[in-house]
Amino acid sequence: MFSDFLSTFLLKKQAFRGRNILFRKLRTYFITGLVVILPAILTYVILRFLIIKTVELVLDPISDILIRTVSPYLPDIYFPFAVHTVKVLIFLAIILAIILIGLAARVFFIRRTFSAIENLFLKVPMISKIYISIKQLSSAFLGQGMIFEKVALLEYPRRGIYSIGFVTTEAKQELQKKTKFKMISIFLPTTPNPTSGVFLLVPEKDIIYLDMSVEEALKLVISGGKVSPIYREIKDENESERK
């Protein structure tokens, strides 16, 4: 009697444990699925929001003005086609205008005008911080005005603890002449905002240069180490030839 009770109890316990394992696996699969699809969904939502707002705030007002101007001269059958055509032309005109502004910014005299406007932003207390942060982030991610040459690994803030840093240049003039070793200028960013950080002068012998790109290192810093670049070890050419 007792043996039957014990065997029944063990079977129920095993079945309960099996259900728990199944539940944990399903939960793991669900979380993994969210991690996979969530970035795509958020990207779609953000892009859709930006496109809708651009259409509402820019394309629609301008197209309405143009359509009201040319509608008396258009037959009714061409009116729907004209609305879409005008919006496409306005969008292409905006893209062309952005390209022309970028081209004009490279001209010396016009660049001075942009610099003067930029100085006005920098003089406003709250706006200056926002403007500087956005400019530094856009320069880092879009590749314009990139000041970082390489990615380096160094022991900081103490021996045995490593930090990611960006090589800006070799130390020059007085900074180099008054030190015993070849010094390298390193910018050590903070997480998750890489626009702030610490400037360090580090002997080159204490630096480990990494193969990852600056963009990959920035993603690593911003994500707090969550997004790690794929490492493909570069093998010696002589060794590959022998093989």
CATH code for position 170:
2.30.30
Handedness of CA 130, 48, 143, 163 (dihedral sign): positive
**Residue 130 sits in the same domain as residue 171:** no
Condensed to tens digits (0 to 9), the pLDDT of residues 14-25 reads 665 666 777 777
28: pLDDT confidence band, cut at 50, 70 and 90? confident
**pLDDT for position 116:** 77
Local confidence band at 242 (pLDDT 50, 70, 90 cut-offs): very low
With respect to residue 232, please indicate whether it lies within any of the assigned structural domains: no
Split into its structural domains, the chain has a count of 3
What is the band of 155 on the pLDDT scale with cuts at 50, 70, 90?
A: very high
122 and 102 together in one domain: no
The closest alpha carbon to 165, from 141, 197, 138, belongs to: 197
What's the CA gap between 123 and 113, in Å, rounded?
16
In a domain, 242, yes or no: no
In a domain, 231, yes or no: no
Does one domain contain both 115 and 193?
no
Residue 3 lies in a domain: no
- For residue 44, is it within any domain? yes
Q: Which of 120, 142, 164 delimits the end of a domain? A: 142
Its domain, for residue 117, covers: 108-142
pLDDT at 152: 94
Q: Are residues 60 and 80 in the same domain?
A: yes
pLDDT at residue 215, as a whole number = 85
Tokens of 96: 């062309």
* pLDDT of 207 higher than 80: yes
- 91 is a domain residue: yes
pTM exceeds cut of 0.75: no
pLDDT of residue 241: 45
Judged against a pLDDT cut of 70, whether residue 78 lies above it is answered with: no
- The pLDDT of residue 25 is 79
Which ranges in the chain belong to alpha helices (H)?
A: 2-54, 60-70, 79-105, 108-123, 125-142, 174-177, 214-222, 237-242
Whether the Cβ atoms of residue 216 and residue 209 lie closer than 8 Å to each other:
no
115 & 95 share domain = no
Task: Say whether both 101 and 39 belong to one domain.
Answer: yes
Q: What is the pLDDT of residue 15?
A: 60
Contact assessment for residue 139 and residue 145, using Cβ atoms and an 8 Å cutoff = yes
pLDDT digits (tens, 9 = 90+) for 136-151: 666 655 555 457 888 9
Are both 204 and 131 inside the same structural domain? no
Residues 73, 121: one domain?
A: no
Say whether both 23 and 72 belong to one domain.
yes
Sheet with 150-155: strands ordered across: 197-203, 183-189, 162-170, 150-155, 208-210
Q: Say if 230 falls within a structural domain.
A: no
pLDDT computed for residue 236 by the predictor? 46
Residues 56, 113: one domain?
A: no
Mean pLDDT over 226-241 rounds to: 62
> Is the per-residue pLDDT at 243 higher than 50?
no
Residue carrying the six token digits 């709250």: 126
- pLDDT, mean over the chain: 76
Domain match, 181 and 118 both:
no
More confident residue, 5 or 230: 230
Other CB atoms within 10 Å distance of the CB of residue 239: 8
Could you give the 3-state DSSP secondary structure of residue 169? strand
Mean pLDDT of the 167-193 span:
85
Instruction: Tell me, yes or no, whether 102 and 118 share the same domain.
Output: no
Give me the pLDDT at residue 108, please: 65
**H or E stretch covering 147:** none
* Residue 227 in domain: no
**What's the pLDDT at 167?**
92
Structure tokens at 166: 């960006």
How much of the chain exceeds pLDDT 70, in percent? Answer: 73
Contacts of 132 (CB under 8 A, 6+ apart): 122, 195
Based on the number of CB atoms within 10 Å of its own CB, is 153 exposed (0-12), middle (13-18) or buried (19 or more)? middle
Backbone angles phi, psi at 236, to 5 degrees: -65, 135
Taking residues 213-230, report their average pLDDT: 85
The 10s digit of each residue's pLDDT in 95-114 is 888 888 777 766 666 667 77
Record the tokens describing residue 73, joined without a space: 């001269």
